[in-house]
Structure 1
Amino acid sequence: MPPASPVARHANPATAAAILLILFNPLGIDLYLPALPMLQSQFHADASASIGAFVFSLGLGQLLFGPLADRVGRRPVALGGLLVYAAASMLAGHCDTLGGFLLARVLQGLGASASSVCAFTIIRDCFSGNAAARRYSLLNGTLSIVPAMAPTLGSVLVRQYGWPSCFLLLAALALAAFAALVWKMPETRPAVPPRAERAGSAELLRHPELLRYGACCCTALGMILGYVTLAPKVLIADGGVSPAAFGLLFGANALLIMAVSFVGLRLIGRFSQQTLLHWGLGLMALSGALLLALSGKSGAWHYMGPVAVLSVGFAFTLGPASSLAMAPFAHAAGRAAALLGCAQMLFAAVLSAALAALPLPGEWALGGAALLLPLACLLALRQQDVPAPAEA
């Protein structure tokens, strides 16, 4: 299917730009994870709050940069975000207090939010239908490369050069991306529509497509973040899995998500987006049932086996759901991407924290959520497909 946008000639450079931009979201979380113990010694306090600071500003920042991208263009917002990200990374690498470090992480999250919202927006600018869904699946597959590789790279950096090296590398990567995109990134924003045709954020929030398919996106990301949050307790604290084995399992599951996302590129061309979305939600619900059934078994397989099914469902769900949620918003793609991205981040953060706080085994908490939430999404999609009764 050819790109439907007037900027079709920019399709390939825009896709490459989106892939590059989206990487700075997971890099900001995964690269420095091995440095957390060293940071705790440095600041004499728990530095894990820096993850929440980054994710919080990453989510809320999109509400600022999405409308700005619609107003001034994708290119200046994306490039400005990379400069903020680079500056904040440099600041983080030179902090000697926890307060200053947390501030740097908030600023770094804001920079990542600008690049993230522009990545999804330029895909909507240049593609529609199955072509858009394939590119969203490509972005999601690319996102999975970082969790599989970044912690290993971060551990080498920390061991050889200390924790600031992680942030200095992030700054260097952001500046390199800035230079590449100054040269190659096209401006894909469509012509500004007449004022009467512009949709405000409140109107977008009432749109049934954004609500329905956005709920599927939130569920998918919430399940994956829930698995990541609960995995250390289930596998290491309760299951006796070594940290080295845990790292291998974590990386293998990230590679599985990447591989299935790329398989989804082909399946979207053979089956409809709706079909793939139903499969994904069904697999996530199945994983919930498996987690509940296998709870209490010994070894890592009782958790990682169902999580593998969950990850396949996640990969099948997120691309089509993102495409269908964004489809109605050709002239408000920035705002739509901002609302969708912010909702996903905040929902996933709240859900994962709630699951971790429940006085239940991790398998039960994740299994119950993975069973109920995808089934609720399937029910909502089924109600959409039921024709209204004919009037007498």
Structure 2
Amino acid sequence: MITITRLVLILAAISAIGPLSIDMYLPALPQMAQQLDGTVSQTQLTLSAFFVGMALGQLLWGPLSDTLGRRPVLLGGMGCYAIASLGCALSPSIEVLTALRFVQALAAGAAIVASRAVIRDRFGGDEVAKVLSMVLMVMAVAPLIAPILGALVLIWFEWPAIFLVLFGLSLLLGVLAWQALPESLPLARRQPFILSQLIANYGRLLQDRALLGLLLSAGAMFGALFSFISAAPFVYIDLFGFSETEFSLLFAVSVLTSVISSHLNRRLLERFHAEELFKLATGYVALASVVLVGLSAFKALYPWGTIAGLMLFFLTLLPIAANALSCAMNLHPEMAGTVSGLFGVMQFGFGALMGALTGLLYNQTHWPMVATIAICGVLSWGGRYITPVAKK
């Protein structure tokens, strides 16, 4: 029988395919725009297309994993992801790359939604939040190393090599999952895949105000993250004047703050309920939004005030995500895959919207990025007030 530690490491590695797909090629965005004759906005659309693909794909993959089981959905997704990654490396234009990034995201969504559902299959109550915190903490190493790895690849190769690395990694993870990850959803708990029933299930979930509040709070935080991801390469490299390597290190430090807080969140779950920590974290992020705007406006601190404000803001990203998803799946444990899919829709739907918005508003200053992130922080705080979360 697989141990908890091994399960966490495998699920974290599989879930990391999402942030790796997003963050590893960030240092290459300016180079890609130049070589593929694309504008800043067109290049940022390769990110937004990925976010849209992840969001739409999980609407289907979540319910399918409730019907077929987690293992076939996960393995199928990894195989399709490998093929799409190879296609990205061979893309002749920014338009083709954008389309293939969408396909790549559809496939990645299968692995991510199935891995989250596995956790709810095996654990219950606040244990879900604890395990999710562990997975997210390990998974968050990917955004730490991905830009650095991408920058290192660019020292010797050009941007297509980054997608070749993702191709090889997906094959490796697929083999690992096939050998080591057992099926977690018994036949007796599977639900038939009937379109009318699927629509009815989503309708039922969307009428749950407690669930909607959780989805809004978590989705808004990921909207802030993807706004940062979309704009940071241009702001840090072109505007602040950092090199690709310096940008990668600063990006890694920004994410590291959330890794530390995720570890703290797991410890606090031994004394407090996930609902309580969720409310505390969303209160903090509202305050952090104000601090971010204030530090960014203080010219004497430019650009370090903005950088510090972003680090403080993203401190609660993973705690909000872990506690919100735990509470959401505990509200409807019989539809863990569907809830996980809906969570992914909000996560990457907000990401696509805010990432595209930040790109469209880009005016050679840091303010579109800062303003979008601060608004997302306020929205995350507001989600907790839609309705109180009932303890299960």
TM-score using structure 1 length: 0.86
| Equivalent residue in structure 2 for 1:322, among 325, 331, 339 | 325
Q: Counterpart amino acid of 2:80?
A: V
Corresponding residue for residue 281 of structure 1: 282
Alpha carbons of structure 1 residues 318 and 63: separation in structure 2 relative to 1, 3 Å: same
Mapping for residues 5-24 of structure 1, pairs under 5 Å: 14-24=7-17
1:356, CA displacement in angstroms? 5.6
**Uncovered stretches (5+) of structure 1, i.e. residues with no partner:** 1-7, 386-392
Residues 240-265 of structure 1 deviation map (CA, whole Å, 9 limit, x = unaligned): 55655433321111111112212211
User: Does residue 1:161 correspond to 2:162, yes or no?
Assistant: no
Indicate conservation of the 8 Å contact 1:283/1:312, yes or no: no
CA deviations on 1:322-363 (whole Å, 9 max, x unpaired) are 100111222211111111111121123213444565689347
Q: Is the 2:140–2:259 Cα contact (8 Å) retained in structure 1?
A: yes
2:28 corresponds to: 35
Worse overlay, 128-137 or 226-235: 226-235
Asked if residue 118 in structure 1 is aligned to residue 120 in structure 2, the reply is no
- Structure 2 Cα separation of the partners of residues 225 and 114 of structure 1: 20
CA contact (8 A) 1:256 1:312 kept: yes
State the distance in 1 between where 2:369 and 2:153 align.
34
- What is the Cα deviation at residue 154 of structure 1? 1.5
Q: Which amino acid letter does the alignment assign opposite residue 189 of structure 1?
A: L
Counterpart code for 2:148: T
Contact 1:288–1:366 (CA<8 Å) still a contact in 2?
no
Mean Cα deviation higher: 123-132 or 36-45: 36-45
TM-score (ref. length: structure 2): 0.86
Q: Which of the numbers 343, 349, 352 marks the counterpart of 1:349? A: 352
| Paired position in structure 1 for 2:83 | 87
1:304 to 282, 302, 307: 307
Q: Secondary structure at the match of 1:327?
A: helix
Bigger mean CA offset, 269-278 vs 36-45: 36-45
The alpha-carbon deviation at position 234 of structure 1 amounts to 5.8
Which amino acid is 1:365 matched to? A
Q: Distance in 2 between matches of 1:236 and 1:377?
A: 34
Matching residue of 2:19: 26
CA distance in 1, matches of 2:323, 2:105: 26
Select which of 380, 383, 390 maps to 2:386. Answer: 380
2:174 is matched with which residue: 161, 173, 178?
Answer: 178
Gaps of 5+ in 2: none
Q: Give the residue type in structure 1 aligned to 2:307.
A: M
Aligned to 1:334: 337
- Is 1:127 matched up with 2:128? no
Identical amino acids, percent of aligned pairs: 29
- Between the aligned partners of 1:158 and 1:242, the Cα distance in structure 2 is 12
Residue identity opposite 1:39 in structure 2: M
Higher CA-based Rg = 1
Equivalent-residue separation in structure 1 for 2:88 and 2:44 (angstroms): 14
Alpha-carbon distance between aligned partners in 2 of 1:157 and 1:239, rounded to the nearest angstrom: 23
Quote the Cα distance in structure 1 between the aligned partners of 2:191 and 2:142. 41
**Aligned partners of 1:364, 1:162: CA distance in 2, in Å?**
30
SS at match of 1:269: coil
**C-alpha distance in 2 between matches for 1:192 and 1:153:** 41
Contact 1:86/1:175 (CA < 8 Å) preserved in 2? yes
- Residue 113 of structure 1 aligns to a residue in which SS? helix
